[in-house]
Chains A and B, each alone.
Chain A
Amino acid sequence: DTGVSQDPRHKITKRGQNVTFRCDPISEHNRLYWYRQTLGQGPEFLTYFQNEAQLEKSRLLSDRFSAERPKGSFSTLEIQRTEQGDSAMYLCASSLGDRPNYGYTFGSGTRLTVV
């Protein structure tokens, strides 16, 4: 499978616990994006990387959120001290440069439920 893969697909956690999600982009894609989507809304931008550099972070990304892409390949998104409001689908996407017309591919997402 040469698409974007995300792990896990589903995560249920208790409030206050830390969670970490992983995204493996398409291998030749140098850009990697994280989005969050809640029910009835479109995906909201969280952050993106070009290679290993984190170039932009949304104001939505509070201090409890951190993302890394240490070797410019896979990325992790960690949420510390989870809150019920963090329940959402977390989507990862990758692209080759800023060519969204045909190089922007989403993974299947990680659905987080905080109880």
Chain B
Amino acid sequence: RKEVEQDPGPFNVPEGATVAFNCTYSNSASQSFFWYRQDCRKEPKLLMSVYSSGNEDGRFTAQLNRASQYISLLIRDSKLSDSATYLCVVTGGNQGGKLIFGQGTELSVKP
């Protein structure tokens, strides 16, 4: 079983749609949680951190459920520019600070 598992993609949605990504992680000692965005043939870039209390950044909302070891990302009013691969990432515990990535979920927003 992979340490971090994400919804299989791709997600194809029209502009303006709301889309949700789900992720589960296996190491209960994980301490930090993130969503990264990766554009085609580019490096991953931090989108947002994820906190137990939930956090929002504009159209993006991230949630963490430690008991279920579950992380989510909600994108509202999706834009063409949101098209990318979204990577669920965890770190901490006995992982020495390194980031453990999920396989990524590809999002394609169509006009």
**A interface with B by C-beta (< 8 Å):** 31, 33, 35, 40-45, 48, 55-56, 91, 93, 95, 97-98, 100-102, 104, 106-109, 111
B103 with A41: CB separation less than 8 A: yes
- Shortest distance between the CB of B27 and any CB in chain A (Å): 13
Pick out which of these stretches binds chain A: B12-20, B43-51, B56-64. Answer: B43-51
A sample of 24 inter-chain contacts (CB < 8 A) reads A35-B101, A40-B103, A40-B104, A41-B103, A41-B104, A42-B4, A42-B87, A42-B102, A42-B103, A42-B104, A43-B87, A43-B99, A55-B96, A56-B96, A93-B99, A95-B97, A97-B97, A98-B96, A100-B91, A100-B97, A101-B34, A102-B46, A106-B45, A111-B41
Contacts of B46 in A (CB 8 A): 102, 104
- Known contacts A42-B87, A107-B43, A108-B42; A33 and B103 CB within 8 A of each other: no
- Shortest distance between the CB of A30 and any CB in chain B (Å): 11
- Shortest distance between the CB of B17 and any CB in chain A (Å): 23
- Complex formed: what's the CA distance from A111 to B41 in Å? 9
**B interface with A by C-beta (< 8 Å):** 4, 32, 34, 41-46, 49, 87, 91, 96-104
- Complex formed: what's the CA distance from A43 to B44 in Å? 9
- Complex formed: what's the CA distance from A107 to B97 in Å? 18
A98 with B97: CB separation less than 8 A: yes
A45 with B98: CB separation less than 8 A: yes
Contacts of B104 in A (CB 8 A): 40-42
Contacts of A42 in B (CB 8 A): 4, 87, 101-104
- Shortest distance between the CB of B89 and any CB in chain A (Å): 8
A44 with B97: CB separation less than 8 A: no
- Known contacts A40-B103, A44-B101, A45-B98; A106 and B34 CB within 8 A of each other: no
Contacts of B91 in A (CB 8 A): 98, 100
B101 with A31: CB separation less than 8 A: no
B101 with A109: CB separation less than 8 A: no
A33 with B43: CB separation less than 8 A: no
Contacts of A108 in B (CB 8 A): 42-43
- Complex formed: what's the CA distance from A31 to B104 in Å? 24
Contacts of A33 in B (CB 8 A): 98-99
